[in-house]
Amino acid sequence: MSPRDPFGTESLRAATLQAWLASPTRLREDAATEADLVRGGYRDRVWTELAQNAADAAQRADRPGALTVWLDRDLASDDQGGRERIHVANTGAPLDRSGVEALCALRASGKTGGVGRFGVGFTAVLAVADLVEVRSSTGSVRFSAEETARALAEAGLTLPREGTPTLRLAWPAPEPPAEGDTEVVLWLRPDVGGRELLDALRRQTADLLLELPALQRISVGDAMVERISAAGPEGLVEHRIGGRRWFEHAGPGARWLVPIEHDRVRPVGHDVLRAPTASDEELSLPAVLIADVPMQPDRRRVLPGAPLGGLARSYPDLLAALPRSDRVVLVPQAGFARGEVDGLLREAVFAALRTTPWLPAADGPDLAGDAAVLVPGLTDELAELLADVLPGLAAPEVSATAHATVLAQVGVRVFGPARLTEELAAVERSPQWWGRLYDALEPLVVDAVAAEELAALPVPLSDGRTVTGPRTALLGVDLPAQTPPLPWLRLVHPAAAHPLLARLGAATATAADLVEDPAIRAATDDLEHDFAGDDPVEDAAGRLADAVLALVAAAGSGYRAPEWLGALLLPDTTGELRAADELLLPGAPLAEVLADDAPFAVAAQAAVDRYGRDALRAVGVGWGFTVLRAELPTGPDHDLADEEQWWEGLTHEPETVVAVRDLDLVDDARWARALDLLAADPQIREALADRDGYTCWWLRRHALLQGVPLGLHRSDGGAFAGLLDLLDHPAASALTAVVAGDRVDSPALAQLLVDRLADPDRTPAPAVVADTHRRLAAAVDAGALDPLEVTPPERVRALDAAVAEPETALVLDLPWFGEVVPADRLVLGDLATASALAELLDLPLASNALVVEVISHGRTSTWDREPGAVLAAVQLGRELPSGTVVVHDRLVVRVRRDEAGAPATEHEIGWWVEPDGVTHCTPGWVRPRSGR
């Protein structure tokens, strides 16, 4: 060794060359090994490996590490303009003899611990550079593919077919580091972009600073990112990196980190194991795991059989240190593991969460999963009541219904309403306690299933007994004060009376209940069937009406009687008895829009004066349109006009039918006013918003404005602009579901669109034309429209929005035919449904009607051998095609109609695809595609 060669590179080179001379096989093995490392294990880890080296240097020097990276050009190189160089400087322990030996030896590393120090991972630099210098305060060395090849030749050795073993031979370099203690300089290959490399580092900066504690700062160009760490809550460490926050908990062999956004934990969900830098082992854990675990040499995969279970022991401690409301989000979601390692870690995490306290309790210290009970939807009020009833009750903060499935994975017992009812069966408490319990339970009864599960809930009675189940009890809710005692009834204690009990089946004695009694229905039905206009029936009808309507009035103005009370007989203005739902109140706006022969009469004014308008409306006497609501319908049996036709067109049976009745009774000339009534009625808004519902379906087809069905108008901002007329009505904004939507759903709409496209007086934009063609073809392709139901137009609309003759128009079905068909003859929709559009418009497809011949000559190549094609594919974000491509300086094709004697024309185009899939294009590579 000498001052000019402080690391003895000359002797290292001589020893290596002598070994190769003695064993040419060793030379080939070294070249192959280096090539394999570059292309395989370390192909995309240049920044990871250089950052690891910097971290190790900082750790060895026992001071915070800094990594500084910048880009410049080596103007002294032979390349025009100079070669790009990337400089990677770091602080810490400088280069030494063992480090140089490790750099030159593929099978050895000078590190004694840490994350890495000039081991085989340094070969990652060869993925981007063929000339590398490592400059340090103790001396500098250079690795050069060119000099290595020359040294092999001078030694009489043949350059291996596998490539040049660049990192096996080192030369002394004169330059000291420009910054820091050590500087790695990479002369980038011409096909490697320096800015792209720096962008890649910027994207990795935050991860590297998290993964490598010895690195505190990374500077890329003029931008610096620093990790600022401080003590966090409950023993956690808080990291701030580039505007982002992380909490870290360190345990034996594992560091667990979670991101913090807006002061809340945000689970990761999809990451990779970091050991300590990112590996290829995908994880589905909610937290980032940085682990000390044995890895394969390329540090991409965990060594088979490596112990992983211990890494999860500290995971519950991480959760226990977080705010109570943030803990459950860090329990792994149910699902398939992303690999063997992920599966092992998930099971270990689940096991740790089952046996180690971490889950906040409603009262007392944290709970292990196996010791906890979850009541989904638990509130603070309910927790206060149940804390001494259910040992191990989890706190309300972690008891959301959505958490039940996740927590069950870690042994938490989930007590739904049914199990909770069982636990309460033997509980003895005061009526006041039970009243508070019912109040706290009410938010949990979100559906009929929950109500059924609480059917056996204990209920205290006013005589001191407790019965099982509200269905056997009577609630004295809204009973008049003078109601006499009813000793044979199970009356709920007043202190425990609560609306929840009624929801769970407890009977009530309200005026509304009496109205809906089965006896009232039977009496109403009997009068309807027996009515013949004789006096006794009229008297009976009057008495029944007096009783029913008095009860309805007592029930309150908001009460709506059951639909069957529409059969209640009441007098009209002529004195004739009519069913209530066949009567209108005097002055009802509905009367303004009904046809003259509509089967409605007006209620007698005496009945209005006697019973009041609200009571009459409650039993079905009309004012405006009536809304039908039927839950879980089984068929079109609701006495709606054209209901069977609507039902047959549904793709699935509805869970609820909400429909406006008697639309077919509106006079065709009065629809403008009828739409006013419909849009202004709050009870009808739901039906007017349901495009697939009966009401909108019927209105689109039968309701007319200016003689045109509503379904042949459009809304402002809707599809078919320039083709369909806007709905001209003051309430148009509330009627968007009764005009044409975004799909062609009827032959009438299809015919109108086809005719309007052929109308030269219409001026739709080209985008609207193409979009309309697409929607028409989609309807045909989906089977929603039969082309035979539409008369082909005399003219069609071309791409340039002009009207074209069908004899010259062609439907574009293959993209490259757009290069040879003029816009004034090209009919454009969706390529995938071009055949359907052609069938609908009775037009030929471009690929069937034209014969195209490539007449220019080009150079035959393949996609992967064309740099321009590779670049274009990356720029467009597409996968590079495979197969043959023919590159033309000028691509010229001859085009003619597939008819005898048809003239031919020549076109210079950018690209073309032959029927056999061979692509022709120009060097511009505007559209790198592979065929059909």
Question: pLDDT at residue 481 above 80?
Answer: no
Q: Which amino acid makes up residue 435? A: G
128 DSSP assignment: T
pLDDT of residue 40: 64
Q: How far apart are CA 588 and CA 580, in angstroms?
A: 14
- Which amino acid type is present at position 189? R
Q: 32 vs 3, 101, 123, 166, 188, CA distance in Å?
A: 34, 19, 12, 11, 22
Return the higher-pLDDT residue of 482 and 495. 495
**Pairing between strand 237-241 and 223-231?**
antiparallel
Which of 491-500, 545-554, 689-698 has the largest mean confidence?
A: 689-698
**E strand spans, 75-125:** 83-90
Whether 926 shows a pLDDT value over 70: the answer reads no
Radius of gyration of the chain from Cα atoms? 41
Cα-flanking dihedrals φ and ψ of residue 408, to 5°?
A: -60, -25
pLDDT, tens digit, 9 for 90 and up, residues 872-889: 889 888 899 988 999 999
Which of 33-42, 120-129, 386-395, 585-594 is predicted least confidently? 33-42
Q: What angle do CA 707, 708, 710 make, to 5 degrees?
A: 130
Three-class DSSP category at 556: coil
Task: Reply yes or no on domain 9-220 having CATH 3.30.565.10.
Answer: yes
| pLDDT reported for residue 3 | 82
- pLDDT value at residue 676: 94
Residue 314: pLDDT over 60:
yes
Residue 771, token pair as written in the block: 């979009």
Instruction: Assign 35 to helix, strand or coil.
Output: helix
pLDDT for 62 beyond 90: yes
Give the single-character DSSP code of 141.
E
What's at 163, amino acid-wise? G
Q: Which residue has the higher pLDDT, 521 or 324?
A: 324
Q: Is the pTM of this model over 0.95?
A: no
In angstroms, the CA 136 to CA 91 distance is: 10
65-74 and 215-220 beta bridge pairing? parallel
Alpha helices in 122-165 (DSSP H): 145-154
The model's pLDDT over 124-173, given as tens digits with 9 standing for 90+, comes to: 899 899 999 999 999 999 999 999 999 999 999 999 998 999 999 999 99
Percent helix, strand, coil in the chain, to 5, is: 40, 20, 40
| Residue pLDDT, tens place only, 606-658 | 999 998 999 999 999 999 998 988 899 999 999 899 999 999 988 899 999 99
Decide: 659 and 694 in contact? Cβ < 8 Å: yes
Q: What is the mean pLDDT of the chain?
A: 90
DSSP class of residue 865? G
Percent of the chain predicted with pLDDT > 90: 75
Whole-angstrom distance, CA of residue 324 vs CA of residue 720 = 54
Distance CA 784, CA 224 (A): 60
Query: Span 455-471, mean pLDDT?
Result: 89
Give the C-alpha separation, 785 to 335, whole Å: 42
| Inter-residue contact 475 to 510 (CB < 8 Å) | no
Is the pLDDT assigned to residue 327 strictly greater than 80?
yes
- The conformation of residue 359, written as its DSSP 8-state character, comes to B
State how far the alpha carbon of 260 is from the alpha carbons of 132, 257, 327, in Å.
Answer: 40, 10, 13
Q: Please give the structure tokens belonging to residue 70.
A: 């910048």
pLDDT of 8 strictly over 80: yes
Q: Is the pLDDT of residue 418 over 50?
A: yes
Q: pLDDT tens-digit profile of 426-449?
A: 899 999 999 999 999 999 898 899
The beta strand positions in 75-106, using DSSP E, are 83-90
- The SS3 assignment for 16 reads helix
What does the pLDDT look like over 69-117, one tens digit per residue?
999 987 766 555 578 999 999 999 999 999 999 899 865 444 444 444 4
CA pair distance 239, 208, nearest whole angstrom = 13
Task: Look at 23-27, 89-93, 778-782, 922-926 and tell me which has the smallest mean pLDDT.
Answer: 922-926
* Spatial distance between the Cα atoms of 472 and 831, rounded to a whole number of angstroms: 67
What is the pLDDT confidence band of residue 925, given thresholds at 50, 70 and 90? Answer: confident
Cis omega (within 30 of 0) on the bond before 276?
Answer: yes
List the Cα angle 168/173/179 in 5-degree steps.
Answer: 110
The pLDDT of residue 804 is 95
pLDDT computed for residue 729 by the predictor: 94
- pLDDT given at position 220: 96
- Which of 107-111, 119-123, 451-455 has the weakest average pLDDT? 107-111
Distance from the first to the final alpha carbon of the chain: 66
Cβ count near 127 (within 10 Å): 16
For β-strands 859-862 and 884-887, DSSP reports them as: antiparallel
Give me the pLDDT at residue 488, please: 34
DSSP β-bridge partners for residue 474:
491, 507
Least confident span in 38-42, 144-148, 228-232, 546-550: 38-42
Q: Which of the residue ranges 32-36, 212-216, 427-431 would you say has the lowest mean pLDDT? A: 32-36
Mean pLDDT of 884-900: 92
d(CA 36, CA 27): 14
DSSP 562-596: -GGGGG-EEEBTTS-EEEGGGEE-TT-GGGGTB-T
What tens digit of pLDDT does each residue of 800-809 get?
Answer: 999 999 999 9
Residue 726 has pLDDT above 90, yes or no: yes
- Name the residue ranges covered by the structural domains of the chain: 9-220, 232-358, 515-624, 628-742, 855-932
Query: Can you tell me the distance from the alpha carbon of 173 to that of 5, in angstroms, rounded to the nearest whole number?
Result: 8
CA distance 141 to 274: 31
Cβ pair 927, 921 in contact under 8 A: yes
- How far is residue 627's CA from residue 637's CA, in Å, rounded to a whole number? 15
What is the C-alpha to C-alpha distance for residues 796 and 829, in angstroms, rounded to an integer?
A: 13
Q: How far apart are CA 792 and CA 138, in angstroms?
A: 86
Indicate whether 9 pLDDT > 80.
Answer: yes
Q: Tokens 């056999």, residue?
A: 916
* Ranges of H-type helices in 593-721: 605-611, 613-618, 643-648, 671-680, 685-689, 694-702
Lowest mean pLDDT among 29-43, 177-191, 224-238, 704-718: 29-43
3-class secondary-structure state, position 222: coil
Dig out the tokens for 625 from the structure: 């349109």
